Amino acid sequence: MALEAYRFFSNTCREAMTRYQEIFGGELSIMGFGDMPPGEDAPEGVDPDLVMHAALTFPDGSMLMASDDPSGDGGPVKGVSLHQTAATIEEGEKLFAQLAEGGEIGMPFEEVFWALRFGDCIDRFGTSWMISVDHPT
């Protein structure tokens, strides 16, 4: 069983997912509302350039999926964070800096009792992230 995250954006999905691919790597596929096959209808008034579905597939097969919310709700994401464990402190520092750029740092990326390093931030797209580097086992 795989548990995958699905993130809804308000008109920034394409930009956000492209940025996440730049940061994490992987293979990105994006289908816009304008790419729907004949006979399928996007919700009335939806910009065809908005993203109906995007999937960023990582080398291990896990995915981060997303779309633009055609309702245009635009409300902040609350009560959930995406977490990434980095292999090294240097990798963690780089990931954290890239995700925090233009966003808001909640907890700086620093040494904590439960990990070599940990930090959390909300990126410029409103996604909450936690980055950690585990103690060696």
The reply to whether 64 and 9 lie within a common domain is yes
Residues 88, 83, 15, 33, CA torsion sign: positive
The reply to whether 14 and 62 lie within a common domain is yes
Predicted TM-score (pTM) of the model is 0.90
pLDDT tens sequence across 15-58: 999 999 999 999 999 999 888 887 777 777 788 899 999 999 99
pLDDT tens sequence across 60-109: 899 999 999 877 666 667 789 999 999 999 999 999 999 999 999 999 99
Provide the residue range defining the domain that includes 57. 5-68
**Predicted pLDDT of residue 34:** 86
The reply to whether 64 and 86 lie within a common domain is no
> DSSP assignment, residue 45?
T
Pairing label, strands 82-85, 27-32: unpaired
The reply to whether 56 and 92 lie within a common domain is no
The reply to whether 58 and 88 lie within a common domain is no
Number of domains in the chain: 2
Which one of 68, 94, 113 terminates a domain?
Answer: 68
Q: What is the CATH number of the domain that holds 121?
A: 3.30.720.110
Contact between 53 and 31 under an 8 Å Cβ cutoff? The reply is yes
In sequence order, the 6+-apart residues with CB closer than 8 A to the CB of 70 are 33, 42, 43, 46, 50
